[in-house]
Amino acid sequence: MGERNKPSNEGSSNRITLKINPSSLSGSLTLPPSKSHAMRWLILASMDKTPTKIAMSEIGRDVSSMIECLKKFGFSWDGNELQGGQIKESSQILDCENSGTALRFLIAQAATCEHEMTFDGDITLRNRTSLPLIKSLGIEYNVSSKHSEYPLTIKGPFAKNNIEIDLSKTSQYHSAALLMTPRTIGFNLQTTGKAVSRKHSELTWRLCKITGARKVGEPWIVTCPDVVIPSDASMAAFAKLANLKVENPPDYDDMIGHKLDVTNLRDSNDLITPMAAWLALNEGGEISGAKHAEYKESNRISKTSQLLSQFGISSEVTENGLVIKGNQIPIRPKGIVNTFGDHRIQMTAILLAAICGGEIDDGNLNEIAWPSFIRQLVDCGLSIE
Quick one: 74 and 62 in the same domain?
yes
Quick one: 152 and 165 in the same domain?
yes
CATH classification at residue 330: 3.65.10.10
The model's pLDDT over 14-52, given as tens digits with 9 standing for 90+, comes to 679 999 999 999 999 999 999 999 999 999 999 999 999
Residues 6 or more apart in contact with residue 249 via CB below 8 angstroms: 31, 231, 233, 236
Q: Are 365 and 346 in contact (CB under 8 A)?
A: yes
Three-state DSSP at 266 gives coil
Flag whether pLDDT at 9 surpasses 70. no
What's the pLDDT score for residue 253?
86
Mean pLDDT (the chain) is 93
The model's pLDDT over 197-220, given as tens digits with 9 standing for 90+, comes to 999 999 999 999 999 999 999 999
Quick one: 378 and 292 in the same domain?
yes
Average pLDDT over residues 141-165: 92
Which contiguous run of DSSP H or E holds residue 188?
strand 188-192
Domain of 358? 18-32+231-384
The model's pLDDT over 279-292, given as tens digits with 9 standing for 90+, comes to 999 999 999 998 88
136 compared with 296, residue with greater pLDDT: 136
Give the Cα separation of 263 and 285 in Å (integer): 8
Quick one: 198 and 78 in the same domain?
yes
CA dihedral 132, 137, 139, 141 (to 10 degrees): -20
> For strand 188-192 and strand 162-166, is the pairing parallel, antiparallel, or unpaired?
parallel
